Structure 1
Amino acid sequence: MIVITTPTGDIGRQVVDRILDAGEAVRVIVRDPARLPEHVRAHVDVVRGSHADADTITKALDGADRMFWLVPPAGFRDAGDAEHYYLEFTRHAVQEAARRDVRMVNVTSLGRGYPGEAGLLSAALAMDEMIEAGGVPHRALALPFFMENLLRQAPAIKERGTISMANAADQPLPTVATRDVADAAAAVLLDTSWTGQARLPLVSPDNLTPDAMAEVISETLGRTVHYRQVPLADFQATLVQRGASPTLAQDMADMVKAQNDRIYDAEPRDAHPTATEFRRWCRDVLKPAVQA
């Protein structure tokens, strides 16, 4: 039995589909089962609740031997600093997985060894240390910037021909597509031969700057798209104006500062041989979103 968390999220829903296609028994943890597609509800065991809750985790792991673990974003609610949120969210799962010898495949950040503060990325790396210290057999999918983050820019691309972020315009920003994350997660979950603990960096063969990303987007769409770098202080202030807590805004700003300081280069990595190139992702995913 494979337990999958965040089954309605960008990555989790794709993992569910791949595991079901492989014919494995699946149990999902979900707050609102009505959000599951009908084809999923008909073929999975559902545990209703939050995977941060001890009783929910205990129930979900009964009879299971593998688990896909992803900490969902806190959103704009005040959940304290990111590290506290990640660790408290994960603590019960680590204890129960260790007790039952359940193998975990978790989503985390690339950048282990980075010496500075990195906000949300530091929190994810601290979570990895907790899992390892708990003695849980696991594989950590170590990831850089998600290409899908750019989908939030679709309206601005369509209406103004711009993408705007606080990332340095001339600093390479390694990326990964969520479909590749789901492929990698499913492959490890379906492989019953591995033991121990290891990190699996997953990076696209591209290593583009935001300026270069704008050029690729322009070529894909057949229209000029410019990159606009937002001052970090403005980025942080805008988050607060939109309802984020000051703590979350600081964690987000620290994450971008670390990305600009090349946190992803702190951890050895090679491009994944089958990972999606940015140009292909723009053609397959971003272009239809902009044209919708």
Structure 2
Amino acid sequence: MKIVVTTPTGHVGSRVLRLLIQAGVRPTTLLRDASRLEPGLRRFCDLVEGNQDDEDAVLRATFGADALYWVDPPSDDDDPLDGYERFGETAAAAVTANAVPRVVFQSSVGAEVRSGFGEVDGLARTEVLLNGTGAHVPHLRCGYFFTNLLADLDSVRAGVLISILPVGHRMPWVDPRDIGDVAAARLLATDWHGRHTLGVLGPQDLSLREIAAIVGAAVGRPLAAEQISETEYAGMLRGAGLTEARIEGILGMSRGQLDFTPEDPRSLMTSTPTSLAAWAYDVLRPALNSHR
């Protein structure tokens, strides 16, 4: 069975890759720089170098594929939706040309809205494009990644987590490794058909106030939760050099969470096991200590 894995060095893709290898599959990886792949894994993979918006590279990687794990990677576009559109079109073109029968797409909660959810609108567009290929596709509607907290190490050190959402607003948070488990299981199975969605929502919905308490206990630092205005947050992002379209994409993702209920409700099928407390102790705490 030929299974193609994109973003094999990412938080989710690296987990997918390792699980497939341990299952006895020799995955084909598509990545920009093969030297970034862990050396111990390279001999168990077939490597194709190229960008995911390079149609020739994606065609080469997916030729003869039985299944594809597709992630729209970050782009350098001034407007992130332009990048999502390009990646989605490239994926759909390759799946169609090579008649790839099964695609597992890493999407996000909010994609079901199709418009008005910031950057997630780009993932919604890829869902539509993949649905049009005729392939069997489960869209994994993932919650907010625990690993996003790794970008907030300075805030954790300063003792405060910020958001434009009310500090009591709950939404699904998930360990990317658990998403990898779900993706690998779907890639290895061959008895599912059609186009459908599957929530990957972590063990529970959490508010910023609850996150601050859980993370603070795990890393041994008191943490407060603070809501700030969109204007203040946009100014911070502008100061970091982000374009107005990128700022709007980030703000839109937060706005979209208000008055939103995921299409795939929390259930045995959509809940994953790793708690934020366990992840924070195992991953965030060492990261804080190693980046002092």
What is the TM-score when the length of structure 2 is the normalising length? 0.91
> Could you list the runs of 5+ residues in structure 1 that have no partner in the other structure?
none
Name the structure 1 match of 2:152. Answer: 153
Alignment map for 1:90-169 (pairs within 5 Å): 90-102=88-100, 103-114=102-113, 117-158=116-157, 160-169=158-167
8 Å contact 2:200–2:272 — kept in the other structure? Answer: no
Question: What are the superposed Cα offsets for residues 31-85 of structure 1, whole Å, 9 maximum, x if unpaired?
Answer: 11111110122221111111211101111111211111001112xx3x2533332
Report the alpha carbon displacement of residue 94 of structure 1 after superposing the two structures with TM.
1.1
- Give the direction of change, closer, same or farther, for the CA distance of 1:240–1:2 in structure 2 (3 Å limit): same
Report the alpha carbon displacement of residue 89 of structure 1 after superposing the two structures with TM.
1.2
8 Å contact 1:112–1:267 — kept in the other structure? Answer: no
The one-letter code sitting in structure 2 at the alignment partner of 1:149 is N
Name the structure 2 match of 1:86. Answer: 84
Name the structure 2 match of 1:20. Answer: 21
- Give the direction of change, closer, same or farther, for the CA distance of 1:116–1:32 in structure 2 (3 Å limit): closer
> Could you list the runs of 5+ residues in structure 2 that have no partner in the other structure?
none
| Mapped partners of 1:67, 1:113: distance in 2 | 22
Report the alpha carbon displacement of residue 173 of structure 1 after superposing the two structures with TM.
2.1
Name the structure 2 match of 1:64. Answer: 65
| Mapped partners of 2:161, 2:223: distance in 1 | 7
8 Å contact 2:147–2:176 — kept in the other structure? Answer: yes
Name the structure 2 match of 1:267. Answer: 263
8 Å contact 2:144–2:174 — kept in the other structure? Answer: yes
| Mapped partners of 1:151, 1:13: distance in 2 | 17
The one-letter code sitting in structure 2 at the alignment partner of 1:267 is E
The one-letter code sitting in structure 1 at the alignment partner of 2:142 is L
| Mapped partners of 2:176, 2:97: distance in 1 | 31
| Mapped partners of 2:108, 2:122: distance in 1 | 9
Name the structure 2 match of 1:3. Answer: 4
8 Å contact 2:204–2:271 — kept in the other structure? Answer: no
| Mapped partners of 2:110, 2:247: distance in 1 | 21
What is the TM-score when the length of structure 1 is the normalising length? 0.91
8 Å contact 1:170–1:211 — kept in the other structure? Answer: yes
Report the alpha carbon displacement of residue 128 of structure 1 after superposing the two structures with TM.
0.6
- The 4+ residue runs of structure 1 with deviation greater than 4 A are none
| Mapped partners of 2:114, 2:52: distance in 1 | 30
Name the structure 1 match of 2:168. Answer: 170
The 3-state SS of whatever aligns with 1:170 is coil
The one-letter code sitting in structure 1 at the alignment partner of 2:127 is D
After TM superposition, the structure 1 stretch with the greater mean CA deviation from structure 2, 91-100 or 14-23, is: 91-100
8 Å contact 1:173–1:210 — kept in the other structure? Answer: no
Q: Aligned pair 1:207/2:205, yes or no?
A: yes
| Mapped partners of 2:288, 2:173: distance in 1 | 20
| Mapped partners of 1:58, 1:178: distance in 2 | 27
- Give the direction of change, closer, same or farther, for the CA distance of 1:153–1:80 in structure 2 (3 Å limit): closer
Report the alpha carbon displacement of residue 113 of structure 1 after superposing the two structures with TM.
4.2
Identity %: 27
| Mapped partners of 1:243, 1:219: distance in 2 | 33
CA RMSD of superposed structures (Å): 1.8
The 3-state SS of whatever aligns with 2:4 is strand
